[in-house]
Amino acid sequence: MLPTSKPKRFPQTLLLAAFFIAGASIPGQVPPCAAGPYKSSAHGDSTAGVKRSSTTDYAQGNCAHCHEMHSSMGGGEPTPNTPAAGPDPYALFYASFSGKTTNTYDQTDLFCFFCHAATSSYQVNGIDNKDYSATFGGYTTDSPLGIHEAFNQFSYHNLNDIKTFITDPSRSGWGFTAASNPCTGCHNPHLAKRNKANVQDPSYTALSRPSAHADLWGDDDNAGERMDEITGNDYQAPYDDNGAYEPLGSTTGDGANMPAYNTLCLDCHSQAITSTVLSAVDKLNRNLYPIDWTTTGGDATSAGDKHGANTATTIRSTLAPYGSIATKTNYTLACVDCHEPHGSPNAFLLRRQVNNVTASGSGPMYSIAVSPPEVSESTIGFLCEKCHANSSGGWSDAHHNEAGGAEGPYDKKAGCGCHPDGNSSNPIPCENCHFHGAYVDPVDNPYGIPIPDNAPTTRVLF
């Protein structure tokens, strides 16, 4: 006989809640997910997380601000409207990346630019994303205020090159697909935290290594994620803009509170990288040289860069906080000590400000009016002199007058190649000799750049 009325039933969510509150479980039933790492991320934060201006009915941090399951809300599609290409494979509200090969980038070229922009941001109240020099160095003179603006500077991380590299079949183990966003090469949007608000605490890192996308990098949950660890305490942070150390306001300069940036960067930059566009438009006019930041070997041509783990056989006019090699066994720099991660008004992604307190030069590190600058100007000296003393005679003392044992000095003689027109005030550009992988040997130099060979011995030059 059928019942005349349906029995009362508790909603399943309440029933499950009762079981879990009581500490019980349902055989064969997967428990509801905990808040998980996304709620602890910058995007998932309930106070400062994602909140798109056209989907404000959803709570701050809600997935729907980035992902549109049905591409509609209240019978209409929230702005910006999905492009004609159709839905995104990851259900993003707009195409992940347009495939554009050079800047200037529009917001529509990269999904992330819709919110991470100083102007026209779709994030409620906007987002302030200053560059590394400002956020971690305290440089106050100028800075782009958004990631979109940072990528539209003179030199920049080419987004198409990044995507091509991380999605190469030889790196299939990294987990990226043809639909992956270039930004995810270094950031996992579901894990990244707000490091700009916690600059001295790398547990708030926004980074994930390209080869380890599912884990935050720098949060110290595994060994080797801090600069002091990967350098054997030979890292020395530069001064910030206020006379303390980087990251902004730190009282320790050994890297214990800095992610191991070099390990992350070398996932890609330990090998040559092909540039999408080899022209002045790309601001470089060549492919990227591989960087060997880990090999020792002194002055052997097979050795790595001396700003890396390679032994500094002598000190060349260094300024505070860098000094005698007796202070540390060596000085190993971090990539971000000199380079911006997104973009810069200077060539080679050089920072606006480096080691500010000891700066002896003035003006830009590079003229943004010259293209390609590396064959036209030697103003990279403005970068070098932030850590190396620039004597009253320019760089003459460092090249000709210092005692350096096996490292120099160069002989002064006509036709040496360093002053092609015979005028001592018109030397060749610094980067003709000083670059990643450079050593004195015009025959065997791996990049075919004619480096003058009138010094006492073959030696590493960077």
Q: What is the DSSP letter of 385?
A: T
* Torsional class of 61: left (φ above 0), alpha (ψ -120 to 50), beta (otherwise): left
Q: What is the pLDDT of residues 264-305, one digit of tens each?
A: 999 999 998 887 655 444 456 678 889 999 999 888 888 999
Structure-model confidence comparison of residues 235 and 457, the more confident one: 235
pLDDT given at position 345: 81
- Mean pLDDT throughout 387-395? 68
Mean pLDDT of 49-75: 91
The pLDDT, as a whole number, for residue 239 is 92
Is residue 245 over pLDDT 90? yes
Nearest residue to 128 via CA among 75, 195, 196, 190:
196
Cβ 391 vs Cβ 440: under 8 Å: no
- Grouping H, G, I as helix, E, B as strand and the rest as coil, residue 399 is helix
What are the tokens at 189?
């949007």
Q: Are 236 and 319 in contact (CB under 8 A)?
A: no
HEC sequence for 400-440: HHCCCHHHCCCCCCCCCCCCCCCCCCCCCCHHHCCCCCCEC
- Mean pLDDT (whole number) for 139-158: 91
Q: What is the mean pLDDT of the chain?
A: 79
- Amino acid 440: pLDDT: 75
What's the burial of 100, exposed, middle or buried (CB within 10 Å: 0-12/13-18/19+)?
A: middle
How many DSSP H helices and E strands does the chain contain?
8, 2
CA distance 85 to 353: 42
321 preceded by a cis bond (ω within 30 of 0): yes
Number of Cβ atoms within 10 Å of the Cβ of 402:
16
Question: pLDDT by residue (tens digit) across 359-383?
Answer: 344 444 443 333 443 434 445 777 7
Query: What pLDDT score does 392 carry?
Result: 58
pLDDT digit string, tens, across residues 308-349: 999 876 666 778 888 766 677 788 999 999 999 999 887 788
